[in-house]
Chain A
């Protein structure tokens, strides 16, 4: 299969702190990783894409200084929410592209609650 693991699945933090979410492709090398944000009962909003060793490409309206994405290796991408505020509370989902089939494989998602 193609397994993508995301960690942590749930995180609560205080306002002003930074939170890091990891996304790993466990059994394949990901050519590209995608980060999405999902509000309750809404769709997935593409935040950015990242390729190993390159700077992430952010969608319009997404603050790159707020949402730092690092793609350290072909199996690991991280999203750091810096100086988190309550409005950053959301469900964050990563996905990975194995290449070839066009489909993305998704992690389990991470729920961020900022107090």
Chain B
């Protein structure tokens, strides 16, 4: 079974600074997708960034980038130039490419942004 682990329940960052959120996962599959989703207080899940396992290049979306280490099964999210609006719960997620019905989330990291 696939599991997703986020070891940081809560983190804080100063506005305009950079923060990295950690995520590790366990799988025996070679092809899969990884995601970071943001859940603000409104509770609506918003996709931040996605990575296909077969791609070696790390995904980047504006201020958000990932460090994908397939051999280490690690998928960290770096937020640069943090903004107050980045404050939210961040969830790492795994989706099997073999069984598309398997889409699992980590336990989440609460990110606080200090002005």
> Interface residues, chain A, CB within 8 Å of chain B?
32, 34, 36, 42-44, 46, 49, 57, 91, 93, 95, 97, 101-109
Contacts and interface: CB of A to CB of B under 8 A. Distances in A.
A103 B47 CA distance: 8
Interface residues of B, number: 22
B91 interface: yes
Interface in B36-56: 37, 42-47, 50, 52
B64 interface: no
Given A46-B103, A102-B35, A102-B95, 19 more contacts: A32-B100, A34-B103, A42-B107, A42-B108, A43-B105, A43-B106, A44-B91, A46-B104, A46-B105, A91-B43, A102-B50, A102-B97, A103-B33, A103-B47, A103-B50, A106-B44, A106-B45, A108-B42, A108-B44
A32 B102 CA distance: 11
Contacts of B91: 43-44
- Secondary structure type dominating chain B contacts: strand
A43 B50 contact: no
Contacts of A44: 45, 91, 105
Contacts of B35: 102-103
Interface string B18-44: 000000000000000101010000111
